[in-house]
Structure formats: C-alpha cells, structure tokens
Amino acid sequence: MKDFQIRAIGLMSGTSLDGLDVCCCTFLRQSGKWSFRIDCAKGYDYPEEMKQILGTGAQQMSALDFIAFHSAYGKFLGERVNDFMREFNVRPDIIASHGHTIFHEPKKKIMYQIGDGAAIAAETRIPTVSDFRRLDIMLGGQGAPLVPIGDRLLFSEYDYCLNIGGFSNISFEQEGKRIAFDISPVNYVINHYCRQIGLEFDRDGDIARQGTICQSLLDELNGMDFYRQSGPKSLGREWVETLVYPMLERYELSMEDRLRTFYEHAAHQVQRVITAHPLSGGSDKLLITGGGAFNKFLIERIGALCPCEIVIPDRQIIEYKEALIFAFLGALYMADEPGCLASVTGAPIDNIGGMLFKI
C-alpha cells in the first residue's frame, strides 16, 4: 500500500442544531497506518430562519420547496467554506460534507442529508464528496454511524469512543470487528425543552442538577424497545417525536425534574451498553467528545455509573471530532478505501459511500 497524503475539509451539522462545524486536516497514510493533524477549525452559527427549517420546517415542505432549500443550504455551506478558507488561508484537496439529516428511516430505505454537494463544489471550486449514507442504506444497512471508521483508524488508543450530541453513539473493537451504534437521544431532547424557556441549552447541566428523578418516568424511558435491540441500530428525530416526547409530557413535571430524569436516563443507557460489552476489565478508557462533553452534570452522572476511566480531550477534539472524521471520510474516498463498515451498519459488505462533484 503506497503512502498517501491529503488535506481535507470536513463539514458537520448535527441534530442538536448548534451550528456548522468546519475542520481542515492533513492526513497521512504511511506504512498502512493513518495519522492526522488539525490545521484549523471553526464553528458557524445558523441564521434563525435556517435553524427553524433544519429543525422541523424541512419535513413539512412541498417537494419543490424542499429541493430548492437543498440547493440553497448547499450554497450556504459553500459560502461558509469560502469564508473559512479566506480567514485561515487554506485550500484543501477535497471537501467532505455530512449535510444535515432531515429523514432517516433505514427500514424503509429512506434517508436524506440536505445540502447539495454540487452547490458546495460550484461555490468553492473544490472537489466535494457528499451523500455518504445512501449506498449503505440501499445495501440494507443503517447508513450510520459513519464516525467509527475514524475511531478505529485515528483514535485506537481508547477502548470506547462515545460521542454525545443530539444523540449519543459509541464504538469499540470486539473480536476484531468495529462495533458501533446509537445509544439514546441526548441534546436533541434537552435542547428542545430548554428552548421552551428561552435557552439554547442547559449550561453545565445546572437546570437538571436542581431537579429530582421521577422513578416511574425513568423506568418507562429505560424500558423502551429500542434499548433491548442488538446492533446495528440507529436513531432519528422521528423516533424521538413519536415515542419520547409523548412519554415525557404524560408526566406533569417541573422543567428541573423532567430534565433531571432524562439526564439519568441518558447516563444509564451509556452505563448499560458499556457493562454489556466489557473489554479489558477495569482499566478501560472511555473517550467522550461532542457538545455533551461540556455538560458537567451529565459527565458526572456518566462517571458515577460507568466502570471506566473517562477521558475528556482538548477542546478542539471535543468540538470538532465529527467534522475531523468527515474530513477523513473524504480522504478515504480519495484513497479508494471503505469508510462505511458493515460490522457497524449491518450492510452485507464494507462500502465507499459518497458522491463526488468535481469541476
């Protein structure tokens, strides 16, 4: 296998709607082993109107309006990349875009990551890969998560890699295979309720910290069928809106008690997964990234429940790990290496997802 070097920009927009993450990295494959360097990274807020559309509005659009927004959002992504390149004086070989998840129902072979890659390429004049999930879903896989290939090849010193964003997801090696799946909703639910009281999120978990657990609600949350399913499995907003919100709202709780109970649920589900998949026995390292890593109370609860050494990396890795790994997916695409693992998604074979737009 020849040595290979490439500079890539990764774009990530998560379900928690905290903005667009842009990360420029240099990747090197040497003697078959990958390494990386983050060259620069920055987050961009969404205009309020765009945030509303990405949150719930796009699902209600007519087909024509939906496709028009798909193009407009792609143009927005390209403009932000242009701003980024000017600010940091970088020009990558490839852009890899996650897009923003609007529909995700793998059993129906339905998915849509909004944000036209062609519009990004047209705006930036840089080759762009997007639509990473579609092939895997058409093969019968979940199309997600996609980050585990980066966990395996770039973060192998950790036993478990946990990302806490709109949803929590985990990956780890077991019997020579990378295992990964979504665990539970987290910030998607927390931020939804915080917005009802005029806040974007629960800073440091201060609201939840003041509450009391409602044991009957906690038991009901923990008893949902999804948690008894074996992987591969993934979650989407449809599941939360159909099952989780109605369950939470059947109980007439204060905001503090509702969030406190949900935090315990999210922490318990992490503990349940790790306990069910023991690795080296007692000295396992759990890397936590994503916006939830900044939530002090949530991390306290995970630490209290989980039999692991919890590792919180530097701020740049916390904030940009997913954008970094999407840049890596672009590098893998150009190196003609699979970025989507069958052991993770349930597809019959590893595959190289994505569509390349090149001028």
Side-chain-side CA neighbours of residue 221 (13 Å) = 32
Helix axes 63-88, 117-124, angle to 10 degrees: 40
DSSP 264-290: HHHHHHHHHHHHHS--SSS--EEEEES
Strand partners, 95: 9, 128
Collect all residues with Cβ–Cβ distance below 8 Å to 62 and sequence separation of at least 6.
Answer: none
| Strand pairing category for 94-97 and 4-13 | parallel
Q: Which pTM does this prediction carry?
A: 0.86
Class in CATH terms, 160-307: alpha beta
DSSP state of 252: -
**pLDDT at 100 (0 to 100):** 92
**pLDDT at 56 (0 to 100):** 83
CATH topology agreement for domains 4-144+320-357 and 160-307: yes
**pLDDT at 307 (0 to 100):** 87
DSSP 219-240: HHHHT-GGGGSPSS----HHHI
Residues, the chain, total?
359
User: Quick count: other Cβ atoms within 10 Å of Cβ 205?
Assistant: 22
Rounded CA gap, 166 and 147, in Å? Answer: 15
Rounded CA gap, 314 and 41, in Å? Answer: 13
Class in CATH terms, 4-144+320-357: alpha beta
DSSP state of 336: T
Collect all residues with Cβ–Cβ distance below 8 Å to 235 and sequence separation of at least 6.
Answer: 167, 182, 184, 185, 226
SS3 category, 127? coil
Residue extents of the structural domains in the chain? 4-144+320-357, 160-307
**Structure tokens, 59:** 């699902």
**pLDDT at 282 (0 to 100):** 56
| Strand pairing category for 285-289 and 160-164 | parallel
DSSP 17-72: ---EEEEEEEEEEETTEEEEEEEEEEEEPPPHHHHHIIIIIGGGS-HHHHHHHHHH
Helices H / strands E in the chain, number of each: 14, 13
Q: Give the residue carrying structure tokens 């529909």.
A: 103
Q: Which amino acid is at 255?
A: M
- In the predicted model, residues of the chain with pLDDT beneath 70 are 280-282
Cα Rg of the chain, angstroms: 20
Percent of the chain topping pLDDT 70: 99
Q: Give the residue carrying structure tokens 């429940």.
A: 305
Q: Give the residue carrying structure tokens 């897009």.
A: 99
